């Protein structure tokens, strides 16, 4: 963690941080207003989350990330842009979803470029598995969106199989098909680098029925 990230994290955690131990989350109270609710799991260094929050000031964004330097970088970005519509957990996503997020309370859940665990013996560690998706779907409102993106084709195919098998989800684009990148998902530095190297990127958008 850089000194700038450390300072941003320590100074702003009381303002933007959420605690697992506080139990069920009252989203409107935390933001001091109603609004569309977007949950991002694993926002990395936070650049795209800051960009999305700045572009959509009426939307309330909740991030979950266990990498503390990433949270510090996010908070530094929020300071620099004056953005105030992001709140953050530094805790395990499964426990947050299970214990803190009410069922049918979210408009969107997004997971961008989760760890692909590309070695075959590690693939059981991948986040997007049927039990986890089942938990996610319960937290979405009817008509809510699950948006996942990856630059690993094998993982994309696995994601498509898992999401397509979930009976309460329907592909927002076309059955069995990946979606073009939506305009509201920022093009990350990581993704731009991948494009230069000839890597593909696959977006999956599903709607809760």
Q: Report the CATH number that the domain containing residue 7 is assigned in CATH.
A: 3.40.50.150
Q: Which residue has the tokens 């510090």?
A: 72
CA distances from 164 to 26, 144, 189 (A): 31, 16, 29
Domain count, the chain: 1
Strands lying side by side in the sheet with 17-18: 17-18, 86-89, 59-64, 36-41, 106-112, 140-150, 202-208, 169-171
Give the pLDDT confidence of 87-145 residue by residue, as tens digits.
999 999 999 999 999 999 999 999 999 988 577 776 788 889 999 999 999 999 999 99
Which is the catalytic residue, given 26, 103, 115, 161? 115
pLDDT at 22: 98
Q: What is the pLDDT of residue 196?
A: 80
**E strands along 30-113, which residues?**
36-41, 59-64, 86-89, 106-112
pLDDT digits (tens, 9 = 90+) for 184-209: 899 877 677 777 877 789 999 999 99
Mean pLDDT of 141-155: 95
Q: In the predicted model, is pLDDT for residue 85 greater than 70?
A: yes
How many angstroms separate the CA atoms of 199 and 115, rounded? Answer: 16
Whether 99 is catalytic:
no
- Is the Cβ–Cβ distance between 205 and 183 less than 8 Å? no
| Mean pLDDT computed over 144-164 | 95
The domain containing residue 10 runs over which residues? 3-20+27-208
Question: Mean of the pLDDT values across residues 13-35?
Answer: 98
pLDDT digits (tens, 9 = 90+) for 38-47: 999 999 999 9
The helix (run of H) or strand (run of E) holding residue 203 is: strand 202-208
């Amino acid at each position: 963690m850089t000194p700038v990230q450390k300072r941003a994290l320590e100074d702003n955690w009381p303002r933007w941080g959420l605690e697992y131990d506080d139990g069920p989350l009252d989203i409107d109270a935390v933001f001091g207003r109603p609004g569309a609710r977007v949950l991002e799991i694993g926002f990395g260094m936070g650049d795209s989350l800051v960009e999305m929050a700045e572009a959509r000031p009426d939307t309330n964004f909740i991030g979950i990330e266990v990498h503390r330097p990433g949270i510090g970088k996010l908070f530094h970005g929020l300071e620099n842009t004056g953005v105030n519509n992001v709140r953050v957990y530094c805790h395990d996503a499964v426990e947050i979803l299970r214990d803190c997020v009410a069922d049918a309370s979210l408009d969107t859940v997004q997971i961008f470029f989760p760890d692909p665990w590309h070695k075959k013996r590690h693939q059981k560690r991948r986040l997007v598995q049927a039990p986890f998706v089942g938990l996610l779907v319960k937290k979405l409102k009817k008509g809510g969106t699950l948006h996942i993106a990856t630059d690993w084709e094998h993982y994309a195919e696995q994601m498509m199989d898992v999401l397509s098998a979930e009976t309460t989800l329907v592909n927002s684009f076309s059955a069995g098909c990946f979606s073009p990148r939506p305009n509201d998902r920022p093009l990350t530095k990581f993704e731009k680098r991948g494009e230069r190297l000839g890597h593909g990127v696959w977006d999956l958008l599903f709607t809760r029925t």
